[in-house]
Amino acid sequence: MLVLRLPERPGSRMLDRNFVLANADAVALNCKNRGVDLDIARFVEIETERRKTDQALQDAQRTSNALASAKDLSVDQKREKGRELRELRESLKAKLDTLQADADALLLRVPNMTHPDSPVGRDDKDNKEIDRNAVPIPTYAFPVRDHVALGELHGILDTEGGSKVAGPGFYFLKGDGARLELALQNFAVEFLAKRGYVPHITPDLARDSVMQGTGFTPRGNETNTYRIEGEDLSLIATSEITLCGLYQDTILDEADLPIRIAGVSHCFRTERAAGRATRGLYRVHQFTKVEMVVIATPDQSEEIHRELLANERAVFDALELPYRVLDICTGDLGGAAYRKYDLEAWMPGRGNGGEFGEVTSTSNCTDFQARRLNIRYRRGPKDKPNFVHTLNGTGIALGRAMVAILENNQEADGSVRLPKVLHAFMGQDRLVPRAPKA
RNA sequence: GGACGGGUGGCCGAGUGGUUUAAGGCAGCGGUCUUGAAAACCGCCGCAGGUGCAAGCCUGCCGUGAGUUCGAAUCUCACCCCGUCCGCCA
């Protein structure tokens, strides 16, 4: 999930406070492995005091309730004792609020627990390559063009035009470029629909409350989302926001799980690194993405996570693109993921002589997001609701997929072979550069 | 943008200051009856936190947040959301 690379608002997601209290040592170790500097002992201290205060407040409430409903006392008698009790309740409530806020401030920064097999490491350099597909990394007997050069040659990508009307980080896709994006989108939606993922075209904007609930905050100094001025709306960074928002505060039947969704939306991100990385389609402010979102039971989530990875691989296998699979290390997991795999496709135009570049990401967030979103499920009519597990994975991020297709399949004259699965959608098997102007 | 109306448990829906510890209905669960099923009847039937081995008990929750009061679903203020009609519009 690309989004977890963004700085997260502390508080967007959380662990259960009782779990942290009962497993303070394990939680502290997990924080250390994930590179999160947190004083768990301090949390335990505050939380313990918070509980005590909560108890005292409940006692006072009980006494007040008994007084108010007492039949053998006059209103005057009630009034005197009642005022006293109200003052006690108010002071306890104030104390409780403070403790609660302090405890939450710490709790909200505690990351999810980690799969025991995830590699322990500090940053993306410690991510572990666990596999590659059978497509060989191509070699070329001619000078390699990057996708920007190819796009220009074909007249299908116009970054200057995008810059003119919306600023750097925006672009036009034209002619076969526009058709290629639509073909890829169609292919991915069909592909996932056949595998049981119900296509959803979602709003591209969401209320601030949904942004908050799903952990993508529209406010604050580290915000990475665009807000609509004068409206309670922001542009979404991924359809995960609207899709999770759709299920927020619901109790599902176990029989309906897992829910498999293929979400299609535009994605908007304000992030933008400087330099070479900003070139072309690789990192942009707006792109289109087909996202897989699954809501599952705890029993199902590990298997579903493998399924999501398998789907991502199947998409890129079908596109005949070389890629490697990374098992993301503890320090690079972000806050919500229990385990995460990335696919990096080979991009011949990247760096010097080509580099792998991230094209998909799939996370098992276990119950971490569900707790915040308040998405639960019930086994039987008499059972208590439990938090679901949420998972997500990139079906296809159109911009980056096009980078990989253009760069890997280029030929000496700048022609680009199209993967077989796109022939029917495109009505052609290759892109040929337009004739150079005289 | 204008004018009205409305937010109560999974759903529908009573309820305008103290036997409401939220009536009643539907759905659901258990039972009686029945060859079986339906119907009928009886019982159970919200969420969260705390406490207890457990049965249970306690606290909070009637869109959200403040306020008035000994006591608020009910009164006051602000905000949010939903619906209908009109205007505008692909």
pTM, two decimal places: 0.89
Angstrom distance (rounded) from CA A208 to CA A213: 8
Look at residue A145 in the predicted model and tell me its pLDDT: 94
CB A82 within 8 A of CB A64: yes
Dihedral sign computed on CA atoms, order A148, A154, A157, A160 = positive
Confidence tier at A127 by pLDDT (50, 70, 90) = very high
Beta bridge partners of A324: A132, A344
Angstrom distance (rounded) from CA A202 to CA A240: 10
Confidence tier at A303 by pLDDT (50, 70, 90) = very high
Look at residue A273 in the predicted model and tell me its pLDDT: 60
| Binding residues for strand B (Cβ < 7 Å) | A 18, 51, 54-55, 57-58, 61-62, 64-69, 75, 78-79, 82-83, 85-86, 207, 209, 232, 251, 376, 381-382, 384-385
Burial (Cβ within 10 Å: 0-12, 13-18, ≥19) of residue A23:
middle
Mean pLDDT along residues A121-143: 94
DSSP string for A278-329: GSTTSS-SEEEEEEEEEEE-TTTHHHHHHHHHHHHHHHHHHTT--EEEEE--
Mean pLDDT along residues A5-12: 30
What is the ipTM, given to two decimal places?
0.83
CB A276 within 8 A of CB A391: no
DSSP string for A47-111: HHHHHHHHHHHHHHHHHHHHHHT-SSS-HHHHHHHHHHHHHHHHHHHHHHHHHHHHHHHHHTTPP
Closest CA to A287 of A192, A157, A432: A157
Q: Which nucleotide is nearest to A70 (CA to C1')?
A: B18
Beta bridge partners of A131: A325
Bases on strand B under 7 Å from any protein CB = 10, 18-19, 21, 28-29, 47-51, 58-60, 69-71, 80-81
Q: Which nucleotide is nearest to A76 (CA to C1')?
A: B70
Angstrom distance (rounded) from CA A307 to CA A108: 30
Q: Which nucleotide is nearest to A16 (CA to C1')?
A: B49
pLDDT in tens, A139-167: 999 999 999 999 999 999 999 999 999 98
Angstrom distance (rounded) from CA A129 to CA A323: 11
Say which of A47, A291, A320, A358 is annotated catalytic. A358
What is the Cα gyration radius of chain A? Answer: 26
Calculate the angstrom distance between C1' of B24 and CA of A193: 46
Q: Give the phi and the psi of residue A15 in degrees, each rounded to 5.
A: -95, 160
Residue A254 has pLDDT above 80, yes or no: yes
